[in-house]
Amino acid sequence: MDQIVIKGGRPLNGEVSISGAKNAALPMIAATILTGGAFVFQNVPNLKDIDTICRLLADLGAKTEFSGSTARIDTTGLDRHEASYDLVRKMRASVLVLGPLLARLKRARVSLPGGCAIGARPINMHLEGLEKLGAKISLAHGYVEARAERLRGGEIFFDIPTVTGTENIMMAAALAEGTTVIRNAAREPEIIALADMLNQMGADIRDAGTTVITIHGVKSLQPVSARIIGDRIEAGTYMVAAALTGGKIRLAGVDPSHLKPVIHKLREAGAAIESNDTVITVEGGGAIRSVDIKTLPYPGFPTDMQAQFMVLMSVAGGLSVISESIFENRFIHVSELRRMGADITISGNHAMVKGVKRLSGAPVMATDLRASASLVLAGLAAENTTHISRIYHLDRGYEAIEKKFAALGAVIERVPSV
Ligand code: EPZ
């Protein structure tokens, strides 16, 4: 397994081009199941998770091919309805094929995703929502078995605004008979991007991006071409890098309006940030101030930015309280950061981060996608050298991260581990 080796302590300066959003591309690729035909996606990030969902589609009978950041997916021959444990266990987001398979083939057999490092991550709200649309759901041998002769519209209320739950129901309801209303829907930009694509395909989805989404079912949908929106979490990671290393980084390829809570908190922490409709510039260099954050569903501070922000707070000038309200076990990075000299105490879902002068390089281990990004940031800020192992976690969600940081002046390389 490869490692990433970083010699820290250099300010990062320059421009970075943000890739397409993993969490927009995954549901949009799943949505191709809804109809037979040839789809073309631009600005698709070259990531392990994208490879996984395309392999899943190929298992179902679709054809997929990539050239650069363009993906061509032909679902004409898609006629199988089973998503295997082997693929689903690699990526929980595979559960996104459940709704589209039910809508297109009237049946689906999808492995239960199982837990992951950051939490149990059940899919009960997905299943309850599909039952409200008339699906018959049973669980057997670790698989969800779902059938629906004809999905019909219904009223669905989510206890928690689940992102992929909202996406699964939106896709299934697009071809259901009648009207579906999703209340307490997730509001992420990736939800809006999926709704825009579905409407381009001929669906009738209203008010995506608000807490109440209305879907008027239609009889059929058409294949389309679509462009993936920029990845706000990748962007937030580079923004933290600028503040953390005292450099100046210009980010292109992401919509700044998707990053309001992150911009707000980085400014509070002392970073200078300017943005127009298409570019964000972040400059560090001054004192880093301790600020509190609480992760919340969009438009609150994103849980996917919690670990990265914690690194900034670990070298801030006071005490910061970081509360994780979305996942029950998303502080795994803390023990690795402590090994680099961070002073962090955990109490329940709160982490008390007391700023220290400098972090120091150490051998550390990545445990999940965003935790591994936080270790890269810590290595960039730390004195001496940091070796990060198990970086396959990183490759799931960050395209060419070591190349992008090297282009900004970091001394960082990917080496085969001995
Ligand atoms: C999506 O996961 C993202 N993944 C996650 O990004 C992100 O952290 C998360 O939303 C929250 O923003 C994709 O979009 C592919 P949820 P998702 O359903 O949809 C509980 C990354 O790093 N819940 O919004 O799985 C759940 O356990 C990944 O890119 C239920 O209890 O998250 C969690 O506590 C990590 N029952 C909360 O709701 C359900 O049926 C929010 O989960 C569904 C969810």
116 noted as active-site residue: yes
CATH number of 2-19+230-416: 3.65.10.10
Atom of ligand 1 nearest to the CA of 161: 24
- What separation in Å is there between the alpha carbon of 111 and the centre of ligand 1? 17
Domain 2-19+230-416 identical in fold to domain 22-227: yes
Using a 10 angstrom Cβ sphere, with 0-12 exposed, 13-18 middle and 19 or more buried, the burial of residue 120 is: exposed
Give residue 120's identity as a one-letter amino acid code. Answer: A
Ligand 1 interacting residues, C-beta cut-off 6 A: 22-23, 26, 92-93, 119, 121-126, 160, 162-165, 186, 303-304, 326-327, 369-370, 397
Mutation pick for ligand 1 pocket among 304, 305, 309 (CB with most ligand atoms within 8 Å):
304
Q: Which of 116-120, 294-298, 301-305, 334-338 has the least mean pLDDT?
A: 116-120
Q: Does residue 164 have a pLDDT over 70?
A: yes
Position 5 scores a pLDDT of 98
Mutation pick for ligand 1 pocket among 29, 160, 301, 328 (CB with most ligand atoms within 8 Å):
160
Convert the pLDDT of each residue in 282-293 to its tens digit: 999 899 999 999
Tell me how far apart the alpha carbons of residues 203 and 175 are, in angstroms, rounded to a whole number: 8
From the candidates 38, 40, 116, 411, give the one annotated as an active-site residue.
Answer: 116
Give residue 141's identity as a one-letter amino acid code. Answer: H
**Contact between 41 and 226 (Cβ < 8 Å):** yes
Convert the pLDDT of each residue in 399-415 to its tens digit: 999 999 999 999 999 99
Position 418 scores a pLDDT of 63
Third-level CATH fold of 22-227? UDP-n-acetylglucosamine1-carboxyvinyl-transferase; Chain (3.65.10)
Per-residue pLDDT, averaged over 140-146, amounts to: 92
Convert the pLDDT of each residue in 32-52 to its tens digit: 999 999 999 999 999 999 999
Specify the residue with its C-alpha closest to ligand 1, atom 28.
304
- What separation in Å is there between the alpha carbon of 297 and the centre of ligand 1? 10
Q: List the domain boundaries for the chain.
A: 2-19+230-416, 22-227
Per-residue pLDDT, averaged over 213-237, amounts to: 98
Residue 225 CB neighbour total at 10 angstroms: 13
Convert the pLDDT of each residue in 67-115 to its tens digit: 999 999 999 999 999 988 888 888 889 999 999 999 999 999 999 886 6
What is the 8-class DSSP label of residue 287? Answer: P
Distances (CA, A) of 80 to 25, 97, 103, 198, 249: 22, 12, 13, 22, 46
**CA pseudo-torsion sign 227, 232, 237, 239:** positive
Percent of the chain topping pLDDT 90: 91
Atom of ligand 1 nearest to the CA of 190: 14
Tell me how far apart the alpha carbons of residues 110 and 132 are, in angstroms, rounded to a whole number: 19
Average pLDDT score over the chain: 96
Position 252 scores a pLDDT of 98
- What separation in Å is there between the alpha carbon of 163 and the centre of ligand 1? 6
